[in-house]
Every structure is written in structure tokens, then in C-alpha cells.
Structure 1
Amino acid sequence: MPKHTIFVCKSCHRSSEERPENAPFDGDILLDKLNNLCSEQLSSNEIKIQSVGCLWACSQGCVVAVSSDEKPTYLFVNLTPEESAAALLEFMQLYIKSRKGNVVWEKLPQVLQSAIFAQIPPNNS
């Protein structure tokens, strides 16, 4: 079974809020929440959570990409660590179950409906 990956930008922070000195970035907080929830809810054979230094969407708050071989890549922006971790894992279950990786917008968890930025077609070369 292919590995499905959640890429979390660990340097992301909602730009509308002032970040206190030495406070963790929103991306780091989301990464911790995802790792904790994933260990409780999903098999490590199905999903990989990987931090990345930057996803080049710095003006878009907390950013996450979801990817798998031969499936589209989804890009989510302006996520809040407090609300998004559980919604992302709910999305991942839909994504994993879909043979082609297509998830109907109406089936997205409510929190992610306004956060979806792009669906990038798979590279089936």
C-alpha cells in the first residue's frame, strides 16, 4: 500500500497575529498535534507526517500539503493548529480510501472547506 504523506510547514505562523519572542511557530504546534493524534488513530503504514522548512506560502498562515504517488496533491492554507489537526486526519482517511485520491469538496471537514487552496494533479508519467 502506498504511503500517504502530510507535509507540514514548520515555520508557518498566522501573519495577522504578533508572535511572542521564543514562542513556537503555528506549524510546529500543528505538527505536534498531528503526530499525537495520528499515533492514536491511524496506522503508521498508511501515513507519514513530515515537517518541511517552508512551503513557500508564507503570507497564507499555517500551510499543509497532502501527497501520495499517483494521487493529486492537496494544499491547505490558513490553518489553525487548534482546529485543524483532527480535520486533517479525517481528510486523510477519505484520501487514503479513495483509489484515485479524489475527495469531493462537500465531504471535506468544515474547517478545511475554506482552507483548501489547490488540488494539483498527479504526475503519472
Structure 2
Amino acid sequence: MPDEAGLNDTILYVCTTCRAEGDTSETRAGTRLLAALREQATGAGAPRIEGVECLSVCKRPCTVAVASPGRWTYVYGDLDAEASARTILTGIGLYAGTSDGIVPWRERPEAFRKGVVARIPSFTNPTDTP
């Protein structure tokens, strides 16, 4: 399990403009997912959860991205607005428990194994490289 510091420096971005195909709800699926995540992520050591206007993965709603200093960033799509919050938080906990953000494939929640859209290397300041 990650320590409190691992989760505290982890940011979960949630696309609030995601709209699932056939969804007729007035509130977009991404906004509902954001609300469910915030409701379930309570207490010390919870990741920071931020709604963002668009992650440009419109063909795979709902979409989230997880980032942390010094770790790879991941983008996940095809998440269910109402049922994915607990799964996402479990996956974020696994991510925060690593030094580089890479959770072994078999240890990832199934939604993360199937829903990965992108894996982006951690940012390196060009002045820090030889």
C-alpha cells in the first residue's frame, strides 16, 4: 500500500466533458465520474482529483489521466461513470506505491489493462540532462 506522501503527490485528472454514447443525462458522464471519485476518495492520503475540460480522447469516454512528479503519466479510457470510481482509486493506489509509476501489467485492475490509452514518460528538465 502506498504511503500517504505517494498519494498526496499524485494527481488524477478527470475529463468532465466526456459523454458516453447514447447517454441522455443532462450531466455528462465525465462530470458524474468526477463526483463519484471525489465522494469515494476521502481521508488522509487521498490523491488530488481535478476535473479538466477535455483530455481529447472523445472516442473512449470516460477518460482519466494520472500523473506524479518523477513517474510516468498514464491516460485511461472506456471507464464507466457510475461503476469505475473504486477501481480507479485502487489503481491510483497501486501507481502511487511505485517509484516510477509503472505497475506490473498483471497487477493492474482489468479496467486499466484494457483501457490504457497512453503512457507518457516523466518530464525531465532539459537543463538537468547531460
Which TM-score bucket, shorter chain as reference?
A: 0.7 to 0.9
Deviation at 1:99, TM superposition (A): 1.3
Give, as a single letter, the amino acid of the residue that structure 1 aligns with 2:38.
Answer: N
The answer for unaligned runs of 5 or more in structure 2 is: 126-130
Deviation at 1:18, TM superposition (A): 4.2
TM-score (norm 1): 0.87
**CA RMSD after TM alignment:** 1.5
Contact 1:12-1:27 within 8 A present in 2 as well? yes
Contact 1:3-1:46 within 8 A present in 2 as well? no
Q: Distance in 2 between matches of 1:59 and 1:96?
A: 27
Give the structure 2 partner of residue 6 of structure 1: 12
TM-score (norm 2): 0.84
How many residues are paired up?
A: 119
- Inter-CA distance 31–121: structure 2 relative to 1 (3 Å threshold): same
Matched, 1:26 2:32: no
The answer for unaligned runs of 5 or more in structure 1 is: none
Q: Distance in 1 between matches of 2:61 and 2:32?
A: 13
Q: Which has the higher strand share?
A: 1
Give the structure 2 partner of residue 59 of structure 1: 59
Matched, 1:35 2:41: no
Q: Quick one: percent identity of the two aligned structures?
A: 28
Deviation at 1:104, TM superposition (A): 1.2
Query: Which has the greater radius of gyration?
Result: 2
Structure 1 runs of 4+ with >3 Å offset:
none
Contact 1:65-1:74 within 8 A present in 2 as well? yes
